[in-house]
Amino acid sequence: MSDPTHALSARDAFERAMHAGEVRWDEARQGVVLYDRELIEDDGPGSRAYSTEPWYKLALPEIAQLDAGVLVKKILRLERPAALESRLYLHPTSRDAEVRINGRPVPADGAPLARIVPEELLKAGDNEVVLSGQGVVIVAPRADILANAPDRANRPPRSFKSLDGGKTWQPIDGEYRIRLQRIQYASAGRLVSPVLKLAAANAGEPLVRRCKVRALTLEAAADAPNGTRIAFSVRTGATPLYEEGSWSAWSPAAAQHSIPPAHAYFQWQAELTTSEPASTPVLRQVTVREEAGPEPAPPWSAAVRVDRFHNERVRYSSMPFAYEDPRHPKLVELRTKYKLEEVVRGTASEFEALVRLRDWVSKQWEYNPPVEGKFPGWDAHEILERKIGFCVHYAITYAQCCAALGYQARFLFGQHPGGPDAGGHEVNEVWSNEYNKWVLMDAKENLHHVDPHTREPLSLMEVQERMVRMMYADREIKPDTFSKMPPQDLEIGTCEGLSLEPRKENEPLEQWPPWFRWFQVRYMPRNDWYTRPRPLPYEQGFTWDWTDYWVWEPPRIPRLHQYRRYTSRKADLDWSLHQVCFDAELTDEPGVVRVKMCTVTPNFECFAVDLDGGGWRKEDAVFLWKLHTGANRIEMAARNCMGREGRPSFLELTWNV
């Protein structure tokens, strides 16, 4: 075993990465570059809904009505002046206003909500944006901003109003909904490779073959223009997933590495930096070479054969998702008060239980938008007691009922501006251990989507891909180009016996459930709303301008400009849960195998193993498996604190004594 090689293209490393922070994939340059979006705003945490419809009775935020003599001024502070592009985001109520930045006009360019700002109008430090003419400018109240973002308490006021044509200005008690999105590279970003197995010749097997790695050499294909840099480091470990305490610290890739004999795995890390906001390094490939030699194998290893195995590959998100603990008192109360375990009792599978729970939530109240009085919070107790709410409240309730039973659900919403229904719609995706994927669940409509060929439920990304392909094909994506016929590769999953609702031939798109809304999609990066009541958006469902969503931005989908975090990396939304990644090593004692198990399981309780079909039992992460003559099989699963187990990994060995 000499000079094993691990070569990863930057695209493969990016999609499989354990972490991809402040970096993105650049299709044109075929490489990983620094993340390139910055949002300058002060109002985002306190954005509230505004409507002049007669049915809307909720308290309206303060506004500034532009007319003769009335002007508004917003200060946007830029720390890093250079950018490739800047766009000024204005709420639809102020799209027709005249705009001046630092005294110079910003021309209307046909983009109603995000005008391009010529870079020569902007400067380092404070920039004055003045709106005049016609329109309504919405105010985010200062109290609401600080409730969600108390760290902003010491910011000076940056929104002002003039009633005399700009002769005098007075600060307002809040901030105008005026934002600037800049296309400029982050100063630093980090890409951490997936865990790779030392001695690459055996990388595809679950058995750890003994070897002695003397050195690691890293080579990279990359560009680093002036003012930019890529620094590489490596670390090694004893477990098939990174675990603190079992792995070394990062050290520069060029340094000599003393690799402990028990370490069979490694990772590399690329740190991209720039001092020029308009310039980025580009990483295209990383190759690691080992100088290694074999170690004597246990004499009995010649009698061992690997027959079959399934070893899960963990997919990591760079979204810092925070999970609610099902043992939270509010979830315990929810579970017991509404007898949720009875709701799912007797179901034939986990997925059927998730559908049954969705069916229960959908029938707890009639669709009833909260257009007056107090808007419900992100609290299933309040929603179920008041029996009021629209799609957002069905999604909140379903997510918290799932959490109460030990299932993980996340909140997301989408809309299709210019499409058959431009309104937004809130739903969930729930992690299915049965299908090993996130599945789209619509509690308001009480349905999910199914592939008509495989009969598997679909994730939002899968639904969206079909929607774009069938509605637009190769046509330019704009309001008047979509097809009005529904996709041929979608069916609707209903609740009664998990039956499918057949699509009627030539059924108009407007009569189909709202699959066509999954165009511009945003994700909430947590579901621990009881543990952390803030930050959360106000009046979600009537407004969508809260800044801290993660925006899914695949190819062909038009960009949004009012948020700060965007991703086109599939793993960021398709990460995996409750899986077991393992390795096995033949010890010196004949018939004894050392098994190491790792997992990424929220609210993890224990590992469970099944030997030769003898039944599940708890087991330590590292344990000794004693073989018998002939065929041996071990199954391994991760179990959370509510007893929910992920899909098992397994290994089958034959020992011919």
Alpha helices for 193-288 (secondary structure H): none
pLDDT exceeds 80 at position 403: yes
Q: What separation, in Å, do the N-terminal and C-terminal C-alpha atoms of the chain show? A: 27
Higher per-residue confidence, 631 vs 200: 631
For 138-186, what is each residue's pLDDT tens digit? 999 999 999 999 999 999 999 999 999 999 999 999 999 999 999 999 9
Q: Which residues contact 54 (CB under 8 A, 6 or more apart)?
A: none
Q: Which residues contact 59 (CB under 8 A, 6 or more apart)?
A: none
For 444-488, what is each residue's pLDDT tens digit? 989 898 887 888 999 999 988 888 887 777 777 766 666 655 555
For the entire predicted model, the pTM comes to 0.94
Task: Give the per-residue pLDDT at 394.
Answer: 98
pLDDT exceeds 90 at position 236: yes
Q: Hey, what are 508's tokens?
A: 């108009």
Task: Give the per-residue pLDDT at 507.
Answer: 57
Task: Give the per-residue pLDDT at 497.
Answer: 42
Q: Which residues contact 25 (CB under 8 A, 6 or more apart)?
A: 10, 11, 14, 15, 31, 32, 33, 568, 569
Task: Give the per-residue pLDDT at 1.
Answer: 42
For 20-75, what is each residue's pLDDT tens digit? 999 999 999 999 999 999 999 999 999 999 988 888 888 888 899 999 889 999 99
pLDDT exceeds 50 at position 498: no
What is the DSSP code (8-state) at residue 325? P
Do the Cβ atoms of 505 and 499 come closer than 8 Å?
A: no
pLDDT exceeds 70 at position 560: yes
| Span 116-129, average pLDDT | 96
| Span 338-363, average pLDDT | 96
CA–CA distances in Å: residue 496 to residues 82, 499, 535? 58, 6, 38
Residue ranges and CATH numbers for the domains of the chain are 5-35+186-296 (2.60.120), 38-183 (2.60.120), 299-318+569-657 (2.60.40.10), 329-536 (3.10.620)
pLDDT exceeds 70 at position 353: yes
| Span 638-647, average pLDDT | 96
DSSP 248-267: PPPEETTS-----TT--EEE
Please, which pLDDT band fits residue 116 given cuts at 50, 70 and 90?
A: very high
Q: Hey, what are 569's tokens?
A: 């990396």
Please, which pLDDT band fits residue 291 given cuts at 50, 70 and 90?
A: confident
Please, which pLDDT band fits residue 436 given cuts at 50, 70 and 90?
A: very high
Angle at 631 between CA 626 and CA 636, to 5 degrees: 60
Say how far apart CA 608 and CA 635 lie, in whole Å: 8
